[in-house]
Structure 1
Amino acid sequence: MSVPQKHHYVPQFLLRRFADTSKKLLVHHTDKEERPGRVHVGNLAQTFRGHTLYWPGREPDHATIESGMGSIETHTGRVVADLLAGGARSPAPDQREVLGFFIALQWQRSRFLIDLLVRSVLAPDAPVNELERSLGIRQIMHSVLFPWFARLDGEIDPGETACYVADWLQYGPWQWRLYRPDGPKLIVGDNIVCLWGLADGETSEMPEPWTHHGVGVGFGNCGRVTMPLAPNLGLIIHRDGRPDLRNPTAAEFNRATVYSSREFVAHHPEGLPSADLQRALREDLGTQRQLLPIIIEAARRAAEEDARQSDRLFQQLSETEPKPFF
């Protein structure tokens, strides 16, 4: 039996929430000027062998990482279904734990971030061996999947540090709430984990407006995280002491999704339900299309410079004769 080699980096269960009955979405590209088009969820947000593990002297492993990610996705799908069926204002602790792991997974399997990780480790002209071909995926395996299965097996107690992102959002200075617009007003994108603004007392190397586009901001210093879960359900996680970041409008919630995207955003083929939302989306798409080439180029240059500095340091160390400790 053949193993699928096309791997989705945005779960199909989530994309289907935004699609029509034929499982199609209207897709707007943010990385290029192109008319929106209808795309089947099975053909969206996928890459060939994107989650494949490579080992020296072995056949590529197309299934292990996919299976682990699928476990998190399955649990998250159940949580989303329960939240949609109920009327809770915030997720329960066990639901927050699952959503925290899902956020960690989606953040780290972003194709943009995986590319930057590889560039920051390998010099641009460095040869790539079998192990390095799946460098970014191995990071997900160790920092997300191993802790996930350890918790499922009862090997890690709640509150014990295991997955940095999930634990920080669950036990750090954050408030969780659900956003329920009065209708199907939200959009989805290639990067559904949207960081926005700076927390009180935190700083960034970039002016704060750039942090709205995911530049110069991370989980350690951001003020708000949003994630669309369905057209009528979103998740807001904000730092304590930032009431101004708690209650975005639907247009503002969507703006975070557009500004965090590196490839596309999408919604139901019938479109957004109001002219104001449609106009706001057009304006935000225009802004992101103008800035995204600058963001991508600057990020890649910074990552490649990190790799060159690491390579120079390694060369210096290898040419230095170690001195005895005693």
Structure 2
Amino acid sequence: MDKIVYAMDHDDMGVPKLHHYVPQFYLRRFADPSGKLWVWDREKDRIFCTKPGSIAAETNFYFVSMLAEHGHDPLTMERQFADIERDVSAITEQWLGWIRAGEPGEIIPVSEVNREIVSLFLVTQFLRTLDRRSILADFSSSIGYPVDSEDEKRALHVDLLWDEEAVWSYADHLKACVWLFGYNASATSFITSDNPVAFRTLDHRMWLKAGVFNDGSYVTYPLSPDVVLYCYPRKGVFGDERIAKRDCEISPVIFTDELVESDNTAQVFMASRFVISNRAVSDAEREFAKTIGTDICAPQEQTLRPEK
């Protein structure tokens, strides 16, 4: 299992101050051979290289002052995330080894307990980011409950993340989906971002930031530059019986550069600000970014329909 390493100095009590909302074990998978990440600041159209410990993080992002006021550990949430990250790092590293050594159509042995752990991780990864915190604050203000201070935004975010009923309902939905693993041997690598769990409509034509975790969209999540995980709802998709037989399969789809670029538009769309990769951003990714917020923000249709 990976050890969680914090990039900033700890405080005088040895408590981590920089909290990652995208885990470092995950970001390290997208580093180049020198161990650096290529980061595209989408807002400023600027590219820079940095270490995995220096991106997708905020100082005291999960520090819950209310717990401290009542004599409890204010970093309980941060420690909970660290626990599940250690498990998911080990689980998915094993999956990556099997997928890279496997053949198209081969079933990966995903246990029920590991499926549940990764489902919970994917849901919390989606809910824990800076992007989600900002959306929550904006929504609260729009319905007449303005949230101005960082403490108020953090408290609102914590309420969501510790809403066990909501979080587990999303996780149960994801666990029940049909999972497919795509292996990419093309010259174009998968990219990721500071908000990496993406949702696409079942016709493949639109990425979504709202209306997610339902039967009208599927999840796409790059596990590494050469492997992507898709989670398809069992209802309303390509024929329930056919797709169900593909659960936990290495997809027979051959990834071309164009297909990978289509998937990569997800990360450009979902990013709060930073698109992250083991290479410089491509012209296709830059061009797609220009369409976000317009009526032409729709990636080219791809074919992930399983064979009979």
The one of 193, 203, 208 aligned to 2:197 = 193
**Alpha carbons of structure 1 residues 142 and 178: separation in structure 2 relative to 1, 3 Å:** same
The one of 163, 172, 175 aligned to 1:142 = 163
**Count, aligned residues:** 256
What is the deviation of 1:139?
A: 1.9
The one of 90, 106, 116 aligned to 1:78 = 90
Provide the C-alpha distance between the structure 2 equivalents of 1:48 and 1:14, rounded to a whole number of angstroms. Answer: 19
Q: Give the secondary-structure state (helix, strand or coil) at the position aligned to 1:71.
A: helix
- Residues 1-326 of structure 1 aligned to structure 2 (within 5 Å): 1-30=13-42, 32-55=43-66, 58=69, 62-86=74-98, 87=102, 89-90=107-108, 92=110, 93-122=112-141, 123=144, 133-143=154-164, 163-171=168-176, 174-182=177-185, 185-198=189-202, 212-240=206-234, 241-243=236-238, 249-269=259-279, 271=280, 281-291=282-292
Provide the C-alpha distance between the structure 2 equivalents of 1:83 and 1:176, rounded to a whole number of angstroms. Answer: 13
Q: Is there any run of 5+ residues in structure 2 with no aligned partner, and where? A: 1-12, 244-250, 296-308
Q: Give the secondary-structure state (helix, strand or coil) at the position aligned to 1:163.
A: helix
Q: Which TM-score applies when normalising by structure 2? A: 0.72
What is the deviation of 1:221?
A: 4.3
Q: RMSD value over aligned CA atoms?
A: 3.2
Indicate if the aligned counterparts of 1:262 and 1:292 stay in contact, CA closer than 8 A.
no
Provide the C-alpha distance between the structure 2 equivalents of 1:24 and 1:134, rounded to a whole number of angstroms. Answer: 33
Q: Is there any run of 5+ residues in structure 1 with no aligned partner, and where? A: 148-160, 200-207, 272-277, 295-326
Partner amino acid, structure 2, of 1:96: R
Provide the C-alpha distance between the structure 1 equivalents of 2:108 and 2:200, rounded to a whole number of angstroms. Answer: 20
Indicate if the aligned counterparts of 1:56 and 1:130 stay in contact, CA closer than 8 A.
no
Provide the C-alpha distance between the structure 2 equivalents of 1:6 and 1:17, rounded to a whole number of angstroms. Answer: 20
Provide the C-alpha distance between the structure 2 equivalents of 1:57 and 1:38, rounded to a whole number of angstroms. Answer: 36
Q: Deviations over 1:39-85 (max 9, x none)?
A: 11111001122111021882895521111001111111011111111
Structure of higher CA gyration radius: 1
Indicate if the aligned counterparts of 1:188 and 1:257 stay in contact, CA closer than 8 A.
yes
What is the deviation of 1:292?
A: 5.4
Q: Which TM-score applies when normalising by structure 1? A: 0.68
Indicate if the aligned counterparts of 2:209 and 2:270 stay in contact, CA closer than 8 A.
no
Q: Give the secondary-structure state (helix, strand or coil) at the position aligned to 2:207.
A: coil
Higher helix share: 1
Q: Percent identity?
A: 24
Provide the C-alpha distance between the structure 1 equivalents of 2:286 and 2:109, rounded to a whole number of angstroms. Answer: 31
What is the deviation of 1:112?
A: 1.4
Provide the C-alpha distance between the structure 2 equivalents of 1:185 and 1:54, rounded to a whole number of angstroms. Answer: 41
What is the deviation of 1:132?
A: 6.0
What is the deviation of 1:167?
A: 0.4
Indicate if the aligned counterparts of 1:223 and 1:242 stay in contact, CA closer than 8 A.
no
Partner amino acid, structure 2, of 1:100: S
